[in-house]
A and B are shown apart, each in its own frame.
Chain A
Amino acid sequence: MPQATVSNATRPAEIVVVENVMKRFGAFTALNDVTLKVDRGEKIVLCGPSGSGKSTLIRCINHIEKHDAGRIIVDGVELTNRIADINSVRCEVGMVFQSFNLFPHLTVAENCMLAPIKVRGISQSEARDRALDLLRKVRIQDQADKYPAQLSGGQQQRVAIARALCMQPKIMLFDEPTSALDPEMVKEVLETMVELAKEGMTMVCVTHEMGFAREVADRVVFMDRGNIIEEAEPETFFRDPRTERAKAFLNQIIH
């Protein structure tokens, strides 16, 4: 179970603060002066055309990409190049990748147990209990001792969600979690994500699943060419986008 996200007076409401962040890949500017705040318990859907910087943005939040300028503060810790800070932030930030990135040489349960044992330092048996618990939650407990390659894509992605949850993160990042999946498997992964949202997990999701955005998002953030162009509640955004680019984008994905 995710840890309770009780906020008190001394803790700021924001769990993630991204301020004026820049990121370049060679001559290409992936993020151009991006500022975004995420409150505890908030669910944000990031969308935009490919190359708009949305994946880069969430990859910067747990420092898988290093930002070139600006500040990123996660749960009160600023991301610099200090390894200790980065690792402590990464413990609190769960991440789910487009291509699952399960460890193929470990069983499903071992995938879920590795980091809690080695990083959090909990015991083998506790880690296994926790793993089975969360695997049950994503409805895949009977596959615990299989290897990732023996599972379907949708099952693998649910294992990846369970693996991230086993670290008991305070926030979950999803990087296009359903775009590598066959259509019939998208639903099972989305259902898992909806459940997680309803339990109060803070989530930042890069996704084009607009049904999901409507159902759970508190805010939709639309990005294009490295900038945040528009932020709104889902209903407002879908019904009445303010910018031409967002309109064009929505037209495209409806088809």
Chain B
Amino acid sequence: MFGVLFEQAADGQRYIDWLLSGLGWTLALAFFGWWIAFGIGIVVGVGRTVQNRFFALPARLYVEIFRNIPVLVQMFLWYFVFPEVVPSAIGDAIKQIPPPWASFFPALLCLGLYTASRIAEQVRAGIEALPKGQLEAANALGLSGYLTYRHVIVPQALRLIVPSLTSEVMGIYKNTSVALTIGLMELTAQARQISEATFQTFTAFGAATIVYLCLALIAYQAMALIDRAVRIPGSAPATLPADQDLSGEVQQGALPGAMEAAK
């Protein structure tokens, strides 16, 4: 069934090479986008929980804006609108970027900033789920606000949200496909191109689907490993309170099923 993938395409490459190149872009986008998202997400998530309005208000605005505009629209904003609204010198420089990168960087920025808003909400939920006594104990020891967050609050909150971060990892690699709308030839785009070149739609989409399923499995396993690695000795698996927990479980639920399906 997948034999067609090893035939030569018009450009001299095999179709499987198209798929692999697509996978490369997908992985690059998901990987670098994740670290942008993780970094910004922690900062913004912390900002959502502090008393100081100077931090809390921008953090709230950030989350509202980036979470409530569809990824595809944000993609267009970075790709089409951003170069036009910045000073023209910068705008012109952006337009000089050669093809694959001209799509890659806006997509990276878009996915990173969007996913950051979602991670920020998880971080906030994690922080709010911590017992009040932790903050009080840190205060009583004379730790400053920064030190309290750096050494007491954030390390615990992150452990608490590893399960729900799994769904964000899955979210960002799935959302990489949105980059095809601005011309990035990632996995889904390549699958469509193969389907159009060979008329073997079932094979093309099937191959891409299998690759995505494998990515999901890897992401799930990796996060499960991390969860185990950072678990505090002697304590029960981390859980968030009721409704957070429910959604966490919903998000996690996909993958034990996926493993059964894969067998």
Contact = CB atoms under 8 A, between A and B. Distances in A.
Direct contact of A and B (CB under 8 A): yes
Interface of A: 62-64, 83, 87-88, 90-91, 93-95, 97, 99-105, 114-115, 118-119, 146-151, 163-164, 167
B155 interface: yes
Interface of B: 131, 133-134, 136-144, 147, 151-152, 155-156, 159, 232-235
B162 to A, nearest CB: 13
B143 A118 contact: yes
Contacts of B234: 146-151
Given A101-B131, A101-B137, A91 B233 contact: no
A99 B140 CA distance: 14
A94, A118, A167, most chain B CB atoms within 10 A: A118
Contacts of B233: 146-147, 149-150
Contact of A114 (B131, B133, B143, B156): B143
Given A105-B159, A115-B142, A97 B232 contact: no
Which 6 pairs show the lowest CB-CB distances between chains A and B? A149-B234, A150-B234, A101-B137, A101-B133, A115-B141, A90-B142
Contact of B133 (A87, A99, A167): A99
A104 B151 contact: no
B136 A90 contact: no
B232 A149 contact: yes
Contact of B142 (A99, A148, A150, A167): A167
B179 to A, nearest CB: 37
A90 B159 contact: no
A95 B136 CA distance: 10
A151 B233 CA distance: 11
B140, B151, B155, B234, most chain A CB atoms within 10 A: B140
A104 B143 CA distance: 17
A148 B235 CA distance: 9
A163 B141 contact: yes
Contacts of A148: 234
Given A97-B133, A105-B156, A114-B151, A119 B141 contact: yes
Nearest to A149: B234
B139 A64 contact: yes
A59 to B, nearest CB: 8
Contacts of A88: 142
Nearest to B159: A105
Contacts of B140: 62, 64, 90, 93-95, 97, 164
Given A101-B133, A103-B134, A91 B142 contact: yes
B156 A87 contact: no
Contact of A101 (B134, B147, B155, B156): B134
Given A97-B133, A147-B232, A115 B143 contact: yes
Given A101-B133, A101-B136, A167 B141 contact: yes
A150 B139 CA distance: 24
Contacts of B235: 104, 147, 149
A105 B134 CA distance: 11
Contacts of A100: 133
Nearest to A93: B140
A90 B139 contact: yes
A170 B151 CA distance: 25
A203 B235 CA distance: 32
Nearest to B136: A64
Given A97-B133, A97-B136, A118-B147, A105 B155 contact: yes
Contacts of B151: 103, 114, 118
Nearest to A63: B139
A99 B233 CA distance: 19
A69 B139 CA distance: 21
Given A114-B151, A147-B232, A147-B234, A103 B144 contact: no
A90 B234 CA distance: 30
A152 to B, nearest CB: 11
24 contacts: A64-B136, A90-B140, A90-B142, A95-B140, A97-B140, A99-B131, A100-B133, A103-B152, A103-B156, A104-B235, A105-B159, A114-B141, A114-B143, A114-B151, A118-B143, A118-B147, A118-B151, A119-B141, A119-B143, A146-B234, A147-B234, A147-B235, A149-B233, A167-B141
A134 to B, nearest CB: 14
Contacts of A114: 141, 143, 151-152
